[in-house]
């Protein structure tokens, strides 16, 4: 794995700190990179790996725009330090689910239901929706609301998002 550190911010001076070498599984492949001590998992994915589906909304655990799957569970990547990753840890971002049939169905349902407006919350929304449908293929309305309660959306008013999850569950 070539080091991509600094690629995105070419020419920008990064504060000089000791860096730490980490190894972990990213979207199914074992990767290695070099990180500063307080770099978040979110920032690392965007800077070191150019994986920009995962977004930063609040940076404080409130909005869920940075949701990804960590060891199989949805997690706010803005509240995880990259330096704490271990070789046994697995990180799956939206990019890693590009060819996943369930994710494909969810994305189509979101578009068909008009559940996407500005789109900023959507990568996190679909990851949470994906985890829900993986474990509860026919969720109740309450289960959908509960599963998405950590994902905020400023645009849609949520009901179309809920309908999109229902639709994706129906259209197997």
For residue 49, the partner it binds in other proteins, ligand FAD, ligand FES, none, with Cβ less than 5 to 8 A by kind, is none
Strand pairing partners for 90? Answer: 25
Name which position in 4, 31, 83, 166 contacts other proteins (CB under 8 A). Answer: 83
Task: Write out the binding residues for other proteins, residues 84-143 only, by CB under 8 A.
Answer: 84, 86, 128
What are phi and psi for residue 8, nearest 5 degrees? -70, -40
Structure tokens at 168: 């994706």
Classify each residue of 87-97 as buried b or exposed e, where b means 16 or more C-beta atoms within 10 Å of its C-beta: eebbbbbbbbb
Q: Is 76 left (phi over 0), alpha (psi -120 to 50) or beta?
A: beta
Whole-number minimum distance, CB 125 to ligand FES, in Å?
7
Note whether 75 binds ligand FES by CB under 6 A. Answer: no
Distance CA 136, CA 55 (A): 26
**Interacting residue ranges for other proteins, rule: CB under 8 A:** 15-18, 20, 36-38, 40, 59-62, 64, 67, 70, 73-76, 79-81, 83-84, 86, 128, 146-147, 149-151
Binding site for ligand FES (CB under 6 A): 56-59, 61-66, 76, 78, 116-122, 153-156
């Amino acid at each position: 794995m070539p080091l991509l550190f600094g690629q995105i911010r070419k020419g920008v001076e990064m504060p000089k700190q000791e860096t730490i070498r980490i190894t972990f599984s990213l979207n199914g492949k074992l990767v290695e990179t070099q990180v500063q001590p307080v770099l978040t998992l979110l920032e690392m994915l965007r800077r070191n790996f150019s994986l920009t589906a995962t977004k930063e909304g609040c940076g404080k655990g409130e909005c869920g725009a940075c949701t990804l799957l960590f060891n199989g569970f949805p997690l706010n990547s803005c509240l995880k330090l990259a330096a704490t990753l271990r070789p046994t840890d697995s990180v799956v971002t939206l990019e890693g689910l590009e060819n996943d049939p369930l994710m494909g169905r969810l994305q189509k349902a979101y578009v068909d239901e008009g559940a996407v407006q500005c789109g900023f919350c959507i990568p996190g929304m679909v990851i949470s929706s994906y985890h829900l449908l993986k474990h509860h293929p026919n969720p109740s309305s309450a289960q959908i609301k509960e599963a998405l309660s950590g994902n905020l959306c400023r645009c849609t008013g949520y009901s179309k998002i809920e309908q999109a999850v229902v639709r994706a569950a129906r259209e197997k």
